Structure formats: structure tokens, C-alpha cells
Amino acid sequence: MTKVTVVGAGNVGATCADVLAYREIAEEIVLVDIKEGVAEGKALDIWQKAPINAYDSRTVGSTNDYTKTANSDVVVITSGLPRKPGMTRDDLIETNAGIVKSVTENVIKHSPDAIIIIVSNPLDVMTFQAHITSKLPRTKVIGMAGILDTARYRAFIAEELNISPKEIQAILMGGHGDTMVPLPRYTTVAGIPVTELIEKDKLDAIIERTKFGGGELVKLMGTSAWYAPGSAAAQMVEAIVKNQKRVFPVCIKLEGEYGIDDCYLGVPVILGKNGIEKVIELDLNEEEKALLETSRSHVKEVMSVLENLATK
């Protein structure tokens, strides 16, 4: 029986669980949250629409009881607090790292062979925290950012060209945030290079909008996105559970790839039943390498905050 746990029953976690159930990606989906009754209520709500949407996946909720998550194949961690007024970046990292560390310890205790997908922010450094806490191979602790970022990028291109987003394939690299590296050279529309269909100034504007895509939604709604991030995490789960061997950009600890060591960055990989089956190394040009180095430098700076906290 395939079993998937989603830790954090907020908007992102609940959306992920809903997509997993609706698409019958796992036979059992366990939703866990620290707030009394929230996970149970949302899991029950998702289960009660199974007769309407005609799916068999069973959703179960739990308030901080990780015994119900035992023997999960994949665990998605969305837990963490949003940055509040007056909170510094270092405060946010310290708070969320503590949450992710505690959750990861509980997850590993009951599902030592699970593949862990991190959605918590700051994404790259929380993947770092989960990896060192779990002591699992780097291929089994991965961050979800690239699928969301490429989805936004592809959606904006589809809007500009007035075509189906299904026709667009794209890749991007780097950290999750304004130093991400969309790659127009590797972006195609039904096999046609996007640079032949969209003028450079318009494509540059789309790239900039993609980089600040999360901020645009916060400005509009007063809170961060959840439909697209939750769906992106579910897509990663599906690739693993069904051993699809799909090519996605995901956050992983690099160990020499792209000439980078000991840094958690988004790169294209093959995703299958073992987690990351292979890291794909693209032949980047000098401009792309420079952008990736800027992103690496930014992520390492954020990682150093966590490393300094650990030595206190």
C-alpha cells in the first residue's frame, strides 16, 4: 500500500493532500498538524468529497501523533511560520529551522526509509536542515521550488502567447527567490525556442515577474500562495510513488555538479522511486554560469545563518 504523509495542514499542506487524493496518487494520505483538530477536519472534508469526485484515496488526520504516519513512502513537510512584521531573516530561519528539525526527527522515527520533500521556507536552508537532521542520502531529502517557479514562468509565457500552457517546456536553476535563474535557452513552445516567439524585452519582463512571483501574490492577497505550491509538491510525490522518472528542477545538495560543493540549489534531476535518480548537468554558457554563481552565493549566505546558530 502506498502511503504519503503531509506535515502541516495549512493552505499549502491541505492543497497538497487534496491533489494527492483527487488524483489517487497514494492509497492513504495522512495529514498532520500541531493545531488541535485542524488536520482531522481537513482530512475528513477531503474524504467526504471522494464520492463526489470519484476517488478511492483515504485521507486521515492527526494532531501531532506521528504514529499514524508510520511506514510512509514519502513525507511532505510544509510546516513553518510566515515572516511577521519586525521579524528579521535570522529570526525566521531560527524559528522555522527548529520546527523543521523537530518534524524531521518525528518523521524519521516512524518512517526511516521515507523520501522527504521540503516545502517550508526559506526553502533552500530548510532543505539543508532536514538533510542534516535526517542523515539520509542527499537524493532522499529534496526541496520543492523549481516546479513552482517554472510553472509560474510557463504560465506567464502562455499568457503572453495566448496558447495552452501544456505546450511549454522550461527549466530554471538556483535558489528559490529573486536570484533564481530561468533559462530562456532551454525554454521551448512545442519544440520551438521561445526566443523565436517572444521579443527579448518582453521575455526579460516575464523572467523578472517570475523571480518575484511569490511577492506578487502576497501583495494581492496579503498572504502567500497555496494552490500552485501544493500542486507542485503533489507532482513531485507522484513522480516518486509512480516511478515516473520525470525531469524536474528540484533543490538538492550539490557535491561537485556545476563545480559547486556543499550548497543546496535547484537543478534539473530525474525523479523516480529512489528520489533523485540522477542530477542532470547542463552545458551552461558564461552568462548562465555567472547568474548561477550569484544565486549560489546568496544561498550560502543564508545557509551560514543556520550554521552559526548551530554553533551557539
- Residues in the annotated binding site for substrate: 83, 89, 121, 152
Can you name the residues that pair with 112 across neighbouring β-strands?
Answer: none
- The single residue of 110, 131, 176, 298 carrying the catalytic annotation is 176
In the residue annotation, 110 being an active-site residue is answered as no
Closest CA to 173 of 16, 302, 287: 287
- Helices of type H across 139-226: 146-161, 200-211, 213-221
CA 160 to chain CA mean position, Å: 26
Binding site listing for NAD(+): 8-13, 33, 96, 119-121
Binding site listing: 8-13, 33, 83, 89, 96, 119-121, 152
- Give CB contacts under 8 A, 24+ apart, made by 52-57: 53/22, 55/21, 55/22, 55/23, 55/24, 56/24, 56/27, 57/20, 57/21, 57/22, 57/24, 57/25, 57/26, 57/27, 57/28, 57/29
End-to-end CA distance of the chain: 43
Closest CA to 66 of 120, 1, 7: 7
Q: Which active-site residues does the annotation give?
A: 176
